[in-house]
Structure 1
Amino acid sequence: MILVKDELKRSIERIQNKLDAHGVVLSELERGATDHSTRITELEANVGSLTTRVTYLDNRCEDLEGRMRRNNIRLLGIPEGVEGPRPTESVAGLLQELLGLDEKPLLDRAHRTLRSRPREGEPPRPFVIRVHFFHVRNDMLKRSGDASPLLYKGRRVSIFPDYTTAVAKKRASLEM
């Protein structure tokens, strides 16, 4: 009888020790879960504020890029190589001829878009032109719309405002 009692006592002690060890592990897990929950809450707050900040900065960048391009126009359809070594001057003369302007417009810059030179049979790269005066740019766009279609050496030429991709998409969605 004493033997069975001692055996039961040892068994109960082993079970009690295991329960105590499990209790320690569970309390450590609870503490870890609480710490993780606190950290996740803090991170979610940080992500929310950073998302707001990124949205604000994206809008600002879009606005700044749009303002930077305000005086720009795009000229499409002019064959490659026509611009020669001084593209700004040759494009000013070309615009004067195409639009019937009294004098050459004052251009700050004129260059082809930054993609590789097209192969034979592909359309030429557009020109991006920075017009010095905004009212001259608007006059040129108005004249190009009035004189449509514009032709240069028998080829159709188009003049458009130089909008950012986002603005162009927004304008296209409004026109439909």
Structure 2
Amino acid sequence: MLHKEISGLATSMQLGNKQVIETIGTLKQRIVEVETELKAEIERVEEVYNEKLEPVLTTSAEHSTAIKDLETAMKKMSEVMKRMKEVQDRVSGQLARMTDKCLDLEARSRRQNLRIVGLREGKETGMDPWEFTANLLKQVFKLSEKPKVDVAHRVQRAHSRPGAPPRQIIVKLHDIAALEDIMKKIPFATNLMFEGETVRFFRDYPAEVAKKRALFTKTRLILKGIPNLRYGIIYPAKMSITYKDLERFFIDPEEAFKYAQELTKDIKG
């Protein structure tokens, strides 16, 4: 009886082991199938991914090449701009020097010139302009003899309209010493008249220089008439102000004006 039971149990176990083995085999087969399916799906996904990524990589590579080309071009452009800046600075320096030389040459060509302001238009009509201006200078400044005049003419512009100021007269003296003699008399002369007309006399400066000197006019006006004070404008446009033993120089008209205001305030108390 016991032998039969043991035999039956062994038979059952054999049958159970067989089922387990079959189940394991089935699982292994299913694992292989799943693995195959996963590999196939991964390959499909990789293929799709590669298809979509390829244009991106190509575009990225093109962009990288373009960026490198741009960087190279920018470096070359930077070098070109640097060379251009050097050339520009050199040319600007040369232009400034040439401008200064031209202005100096123009000023030198005017060294013997005198401007006569305020003389009525047509006053010299019918007379030799050289003789007329020589007589004018001799009479106004009470010279011992007439100065020799090389050139004399009105400024080159349209005739003055009725009521407008008369055109100035430019006079070129033959002898610069004669011009300097006249210029020394001007500061001490008041109300200069010629045949009943008030006239004024100025050096003939280039327009550029004249404009710069004119900027000191308001400073000169507030300094005029103060005792023990001397002032003047040194060529081309530098103002000197001397009070007692203190002398100051100014290139900036506004600085000169502020100093003049403070100085006159201190002097007048």
Alignment TM-score, normalising by the size of structure 2 = 0.61
Residues 1:4 and 2:4 are matched in the alignment: no
Q: 1:25 aligns with which of 61, 66, 90?
A: 66
1:137 and 2:179 aligned: yes
Aligned to 2:91: 50
How is 1:58-69 mapped onto 2 (pairs within 5 angstroms)? 58-69=99-110
Separation (CA, whole Å) in 1 of partners of 2:91 and 2:195: 54
Matched, 1:105 2:170: no
Letter in 2 for 1:38: E
- C-alpha deviations, 1:32-73, integer Å up to 9, x for none? 111111111111111111111111112111211111111111
Structure possessing the higher relative contact order (Cα contacts under 8 Å, 6 or more residues apart): 1
- The corresponding residue for 1:157 is 199
Residues 1:83 and 2:104 aligned together: no
The one of 112, 117, 121 aligned to 1:71: 112
After TM superposition, give the deviation of residue 124 of structure 1 in Å: 0.8
CA contact (8 A) 2:139 2:194 kept: no
* Structure 1 partner of 2:223: none
Counterpart Cα distance in 2 of 1:79 and 1:92: 17
Displacement of 1:173: 5.7
The aligned residue for residue 239 of structure 2 is 174
| Paired residues, number | 176
Question: Would you say the 8 A contact 2:134–2:148 is kept in 1?
Answer: yes
- 1:29 to partner: Cα distance: 0.9
Give, as a single letter, the amino acid of the residue that structure 2 aligns with 1:101. Answer: L
Deviation at 1:125, TM superposition (A): 0.9
Percent of pairs with identical residues: 30
- DSSP 3-state at the match of 1:117: coil
Whether the aligned pair in 2 keeps the contact of 1:73 and 1:137 (CA below 8 Å) is yes
Whether the aligned pair in 2 keeps the contact of 1:84 and 1:90 (CA below 8 Å) is no
Q: CA deviation at 1:84?
A: 1.9
Answer with 153-162 or 127-136: which moved more.
153-162
Query: CA separation of 1:147/1:16 partners in 2, compared to 1, >3 Å: closer, same or farther?
Result: closer
Instruction: Please provide the CA RMSD for this pair.
Output: 1.8
The normalised TM-score by structure 1 is: 0.90
> Aligned to 2:202, what secondary structure does the other structure show?
strand
Range with bigger deviation, 123-132 or 154-163: 154-163
1:8 positional shift: 1.5
